[in-house]
Structure 1
């Protein structure tokens, strides 16, 4: 199988035999709250792959069954799904059962990265910096959470992306409404210490020790509000890629991103989000994305462009890394 060759300072792609990739499914849409964004990502990926001569076809798991997916006899699939049922390990498990190679992380890494609380626990166990947090369940003492974390703080549903259901709480009186909003998406809510500073993201390609970080992107949103609307539907957000940082801080943040990615067992590609605290330039890991957006506003294609990698080449190279992660177990069962 052709693989992308990722070096320390740049990324060069070996010639990929397009015909050897076979019939490809681009999985997008799905049933999550990020469905609309996934459809945009999928359309972009499909056009990119087809422009390179790939026999690619869209497939929406929310509209078609797993039996239909199996019947398509895809040789591999590009997962352009975001959020639940596509980025959380459930689809990855189905693809493992079907024996269809797929892009991105495997079942366990996808499930852990989709759960922001589990992600933070994993990072903390590995000595990686992430903001202090509290897990809020029904009947929790919100006053105690406010004392523990201080104000302002962030309240979010731990299994959603694209800033869906998130509230910045600046006054104690707003805490209950923030929790109520988050619980419309999740039974358990994550409250997180607010980090005042600059916002960054680091895209990563590869797996294990061969994984490499792309140039860091800085996100400057109006009034610091990098919400769903600003992310995807306005041109009000400014992006700086490569970010204006010292060489030392750049290297430190890229190494932290790689450590965070590897701690979760991620592979293929992904993105790690940061906040850089203004008071002392301390970076904090915020969350991991194992199936990042691929829209016109998305950050992984932006980081790739900073290295001279086109959107089409990026999509093709990610597709070339598709594999069944548990193939050794499949082989063992057949003996």
Structure 2
């Protein structure tokens, strides 16, 4: 639904910060969103964390929520369930899409069941026979928490010597880990906005991998948008949209992929509340088609005007 009058949104809570491992990124995203919405006349106000947000909503202070809480609590279905129970409209995916995509293992299981390409993987818990897992997948692999984002707790592992430290790091964040085949190739992401894909981005970090530093700190990471041309671009965007819908996601989000040396596309994960910082990818893709940051925030806020129970 498209609108032109900011008053139709009512008083908007920009939910930011929180207490997840991605708090600092969420604060940066939230500040940007808040400034953009206010520049367009939206009556928007910051609210830090879920308890404060729910108190304000129960008191009737806000008409809807622009959710920019990254990570656990804000992106995993918990907040979405509370907002649906209160009958408060919000941006982004509902309970199912949020909970499923925050769980990397279950998301990949859905993709496998749907016949969508994703790297081979194993859901690992402490005490399992790690040697058997590695024998099945073979090096190199990626070790990461199943329920985190923003490259938190991720290690690329090339031999047995690096494996114990990788498992220990990922276990700080989650009891269930995902050990995944490492696809050798180029990293891509495709943003989805209200049911349509934006141009792909080919991410070219200065270092070997697109880690937390390359995402949020480094100024030398290259972003090529569109990342592909012609049929290859159309194919990747179509796959990303299928993966997004298959995982129950809606509204807006981002699908991360790898493209191997033979031109094959491999689905990695879905982000239902992507970053909106100065380094973030959805704003870069939107800008490539003439949607500047304030208009992007407006378009995302418009997705809250649909069915509250979606």
1:212 aligns with 2:196: yes
Q: Is the Cα–Cα contact under 8 Å of residues 165 and 182 in structure 1 kept in the other structure?
A: yes
Secondary structure of 2:296's counterpart equals: helix
Query: Which residue in 1 is equivalent to 2:298?
Result: 316
State the distance in 1 between where 2:295 and 2:53 align. 30
Which residue number corresponds to residue 280 of structure 2? 298
Could you say what secondary structure the match of 2:123 adopts? strand
Q: Show CA shifts across 1:271-306 (max 9, x none).
A: 00000011x110100000000000111000000000
Q: 1:226 to 1:291 in 2, by over 3 A?
A: same
Q: State the partner residue of 2:206.
A: 222
Q: Distance between the aligned counterparts of 1:108 and 1:255, measured in 2?
A: 22
Task: State the distance in 1 between where 2:27 and 2:306 align.
Answer: 24
Determine the C-alpha separation between the residues in 1 that align with 2:298 and 2:187: 29
Cross-structure match for 1:104: 92
Following superposition, the deviation at residue 115 of structure 1 comes to 0.4
Structure 2 CA distance for partners of 1:327 and 1:117, relative to 1, 3 Å: closer
- TM superposition score normalised by structure 2: 0.97
Query: Mapping of 1:1-335 within 5 angstroms?
Result: 2-3=1-2, 15-61=3-49, 64=52, 66-206=54-194, 211-243=195-227, 245-278=228-261, 280-323=262-305, 325=307, 327=309
Structure 2: which 5+ runs fail to align? none
Runs of 4+ off more than 6 Å: none
Residues in 2 aligned to 1:224 and 1:190: alpha-carbon distance in whole angstroms? 21
Following superposition, the deviation at residue 61 of structure 1 comes to 1.5
CA distance in structure 2 between the aligned counterparts of 1:70 and 1:229, rounded to whole angstroms: 39
Count of equivalent residues: 310
**1:65: Cα distance to partner?**
5.7
Distance 1:97 1:323, change over 3 A: farther
Per-residue CA distance 1:60-89 (angstroms, 9 max, x = gap): 125726223322521111001100000000
C-alpha RMSD over aligned residues: 1.4
Quote the Cα distance in structure 1 between the aligned partners of 2:28 and 2:220.
19
How much has 1:149 moved relative to structure 2? 0.8
SS at match of 2:250: coil
Distance 1:225 1:90 in 2: 31
Gaps of 5+ in 1: 4-14, 329-335
Displacement of 1:218: 0.7
Equivalent pair of 1:88/1:111 in contact (CA under 8 Å)? yes
